[in-house]
Amino acid sequence: MNELFILLVIAVLVIGPKRLPEYTQKLTNIVREVRRMASGAREQLKEETGVDLDEVDWRKYDPRQYDPRKIIRDALLEDNTPAPTSTAAAPTAAEAASPSPSGEAAVAPLRVAERLAPGQPAPFDSDAT
């Protein structure tokens, strides 16, 4: 508020009290024109896209929600408890590969990740690096 008051005092001193009403009227006209143009742009956007800007959820477009620290924190705090499994045992790889009694081949099992023994170095592929 103090800054606005200081700017008004400076404007009165620089412009002078005789020309101040003229410049105030020009400023008022400029503000009205900018508001009219903004309203026209809003209406044109609504006509062309069919989206009313008042109905847009702007929180969805907030870039602060894509903060990597927040994403990692949310991922670490997620509850990752496994769903209860059924009492039936999963078929072994040999059972899954063999044809069923009806003659149809069973679906191949997913690839199982192999774990290395403690202290064993990871495999290195010189062609891939």
Question: Using one digit for the tens of pLDDT, what is the confidence trace for 97-116?
Answer: 555 555 555 566 677 778 88
Whether this model's pTM surpasses 0.85: no
Using only the alpha carbons of the chain, give its radius of gyration. 35
pLDDT of residue 30: 96
Q: What span, in angstroms and rounded, lies between the C-alpha atoms of 123 and 117?
A: 12
Tell me which amino acid residue 62 is.
D
Question: Using one digit for the tens of pLDDT, what is the confidence trace for 29-43?
Answer: 999 999 999 999 989
Q: What span, in angstroms and rounded, lies between the C-alpha atoms of 61 and 53?
A: 13
Question: Using one digit for the tens of pLDDT, what is the confidence trace for 43-99?
Answer: 998 888 888 878 888 888 888 878 888 888 888 888 766 666 555 555 555 555 555
